[in-house]
Structure 1
Amino acid sequence: MRSTRAVTATAAILSAIALSMSACGADEKDSADSGQVISELKDLLPQKVRDSGVLTIATDPQYPPCDFTNESGEIDGFNHDILMAMAPRLGVEIKQTAIAFDGLLPGVQSGRFDGAMECITDNLERQETVTFVDYAYATKSVITTADNKHDIAENPLTTCGLKAGVQTGTEFVEDADLFTKNCVAAGEAPLEITNFPTAGDQNTALQSGRIDFAFTNTATGVWQAKSSDGDFEVIPSPLLSRTYVGIVVDKDADDTAQALLGALEAIIEDGTYDKIMAEWDLQDIALDEPGINLATQRPLELPTTCGSCDS
């Protein structure tokens, strides 16, 4: 991860993030450079967006390197950089607004926000109410403290009977349920699952020993381990799938989805996207062919119960 934007992603900082804060940096003010506007894409945006010149995208900035609040108090992350690269193609300013994760999708559905972006997993259940413009892959892992006193390993049965943390409203809720089903099917004790409203609360519980491990985006977990000087250990698992993540828009906002997709394709074609992913050391999750609702259009293999999964 790039040192110029290093942030201490400890529980204390994560918990201190003000959810009502909006980021409007200088790069946003310059983001609507008319020399790069693709008029066909701008014409697809809602009239209110074209009139105001502002597209509002909500996020929960507690997931570095996806989204976080940097030392200057501004929203940062590779998602931010992608949005700022897309904005000139759309001919509007993109403003990010910080709210709690479980309010992102409802905020888009209600029309409060034009979209949401926070490494949100594209899945079939969410596609029933919103549309995804997929821009990257995501992998998931479990995270525990560096001492790993329960000897958690890639074998998912090593988590049976332990106290697990998940954040409310995330796909990790379903992941934890799959782990429990896997334990029970093997005759082992189920997970003791606790839901937390924020990632900061979950991290505090992990550090204090209230939970034994938690579920996390792999890139976020690796960032957390590095920025805490090795206080955490990130462990992959065969029960955790590779998924697509996307920018969320309302299910009826087909034109907005097409505009965002076109802007993504433009920054991929000119190399900007690859530069952003390389700058954040995220080449392994780069998506060269973005698309709409790829969990349906180009589904990835989903994990199933497998006991020790030959670990």
Structure 2
Amino acid sequence: MTARSTRRTTASRTRLATVGSLAVAGALLLSACGDQTEGGGDSTSDATGNASTAPLFSKLPADIQKSGVIQVGTNAEYAPMESVDNGKIVGVDPDIAAALGKQLGVDFKFTSGGFDTLITAVNTGRYDIAMSSITDNKQRQEGLDDSGKKLGEGVDFVDYFTAGTAIYVKKGNPEGITSLDDLCGRTVAVQRGTTYEEALKTQSAKCTDGGKKAIKIESFENDTEAQTRVKSGGAVAGVNDYPVAVDLARKAGGGNTFEVLDKQYEAAPFGIVVDKKNTQLRDALKEAVDAIIKDGSYQKVLEKWGAESGAIKEAAINSGK
């Protein structure tokens, strides 16, 4: 299973591939993000150069060429992918966006809001795109809930990264958690509206089908609350995208608060979310992702943030399953 993806059944942080089928209903049911930011305000990527020298500027829709800005919705609570540092949104996604901006000749302006509203906010036009460790899957592409009911328009994805889901526990693993099966009958913390929340529901059903107790899933508005629950001992484990869990274990308490189980479950692509009607922007973004992979700036971003395990060789559109 995987995330927020990132972060992620909603807005598409995500976030990752999951064990069993995943849902997107949460994001599609909720309204667009409000004006407030979460944890810090806006961030604009620095697209050096200008439109006249950017190789892919002419590929962009006319309205974005005119404004010179791509408005990006994110949930900046997901280091190292996106988080707030001194009032600025930083991380893998903003840095990749900055590299894309050099190819496209525009700035990417990030605004942080609730993760589970990001897809809706793209469909309503509040944002041009969403970029927040969002897992690309069929449900989100087609706007379906986990039972196959049509809830919304769906979105397109430009896939730029891949990640699996990890289980993290308190340092020393006092409860002896070694696998998903060990979560049966136990309390597990997770961010609400993520693909790994749905994955836990799927795993819980497997527990009961096998004669074990269901997982007690505690879902929180943001990932920080889920981490606090694990730290306090109220939950035996949390689940998260692998690069995020590794970063958490490395930084929290100087590396003495959490540890990550040595297994990454099924990987899935993270995608840039684009409205299905905006195929011109979608295709321009795909060309830009391929360009930064080719020129090496993509790899440099991943190395900067210790996220090399998620590198891809070429961009794809709607490759999630």
TM above 0.5 = yes
Name the counterpart of 2:71: 56
CA displacement 1:8-52 (0-9 Å, x = unmatched): xxxxxxxxx83561013xx62x435346412xx333323221111
Q: Choose from 260, 272, 286 the match for 1:234.
A: 260
Q: Choose from 195, 200, 203 the match for 2:224.
A: 200
SS in 1 for 2:302: helix
Q: Choose from 67, 78, 82 the match for 2:82.
A: 67
Q: Within 5 Å, which residues of 2 pair with 1:144-183?
A: 144-154=169-179, 156-183=180-207
Name the counterpart of 2:248: 224
CA displacement 1:128-162 (0-9 Å, x = unmatched): 101110001111111111142221003x2211100
- 1:93 Cα deviation after fit: 1.2
Q: How many percent of aligned residue pairs carry the same amino acid?
A: 31
Task: Please give the alpha-carbon distance, in whole angstroms, between the structure 1 residues aligned to 2:94 and 2:214.
Answer: 38
Name the counterpart of 1:184: 208
SS in 2 for 1:259: helix
Name the counterpart of 1:45: 60
- 1:78 Cα deviation after fit: 1.1
Task: Please give the alpha-carbon distance, in whole angstroms, between the structure 1 residues aligned to 2:172 and 2:313.
Answer: 38
Tell me the amino acid that sits aligned with residue 135 of structure 2. Answer: T
Count residues with an aligned counterpart: 272
Task: Please give the alpha-carbon distance, in whole angstroms, between the structure 2 residues aligned to 1:107 and 1:241.
Answer: 28
Q: Is the aligned partner of 1:119 residue 2:157?
A: no
- 1:91 Cα deviation after fit: 1.4
Tell me the amino acid that sits aligned with residue 249 of structure 1. Answer: V
Task: Please give the alpha-carbon distance, in whole angstroms, between the structure 2 residues aligned to 1:235 and 1:18.
Answer: 30
Contact 2:39 2:84 in 1 (8 A): no
Change (3 A) 1:136 1:251: same
CA displacement 1:91-144 (0-9 Å, x = unmatched): 111111111111111111110000011111001100110111000111111111
Q: Within 5 Å, which residues of 2 pair with 1:236-251?
A: 236-237=262-263, 240-251=265-276
Contact 1:36 1:88 in 2 (8 A): no
Q: Is the aligned partner of 1:99 residue 2:119?
A: no
TM-score (norm 1): 0.83
Contact 1:32 1:92 in 2 (8 A): no
Tell me the amino acid that sits aligned with residue 258 of structure 2. Answer: F
Contact 2:40 2:87 in 1 (8 A): no
SS in 2 for 1:227: helix
Which aligned segments of 4 or more residues in structure 1 are displaced greater than 6 angstroms?
A: none
Q: Within 5 Å, which residues of 2 pair with 1:219-298?
A: 219-228=243-252, 229=254, 230-237=256-263, 240-296=265-321
Gaps of 5+ in 2: 1-36, 143-153
Change (3 A) 1:32 1:53: farther
Task: Please give the alpha-carbon distance, in whole angstroms, between the structure 1 residues aligned to 2:269 and 2:117.
Answer: 20
When you count strand as a share of all residues, which structure comes out higher?
Answer: 1
CA displacement 1:226-259 (0-9 Å, x = unmatched): 1112200112557x31110011111211111101
Contact 2:73 2:127 in 1 (8 A): yes
Contact 2:57 2:104 in 1 (8 A): yes
Contact 2:158 2:282 in 1 (8 A): yes
Tell me the amino acid that sits aligned with residue 52 of structure 1. Answer: S
Contact 1:32 1:87 in 2 (8 A): no
Q: Looking at CA atoms only, which structure, 1 or 2, has the larger radius of gyration? A: 1
Tell me the amino acid that sits aligned with residue 69 of structure 1. Answer: V
Task: Please give the alpha-carbon distance, in whole angstroms, between the structure 1 residues aligned to 2:213 and 2:103.
Answer: 53
Name the counterpart of 2:50: 33
- 1:289 Cα deviation after fit: 1.3
Contact 2:192 2:222 in 1 (8 A): yes
Q: Is the aligned partner of 1:23 residue 2:43?
A: yes
SS in 2 for 1:203: helix
- 1:209 Cα deviation after fit: 2.4
Q: Choose from 103, 106, 110 the match for 1:89.
A: 103
SS in 2 for 1:95: strand
Task: Please give the alpha-carbon distance, in whole angstroms, between the structure 2 residues aligned to 1:255 and 1:186.
Answer: 48
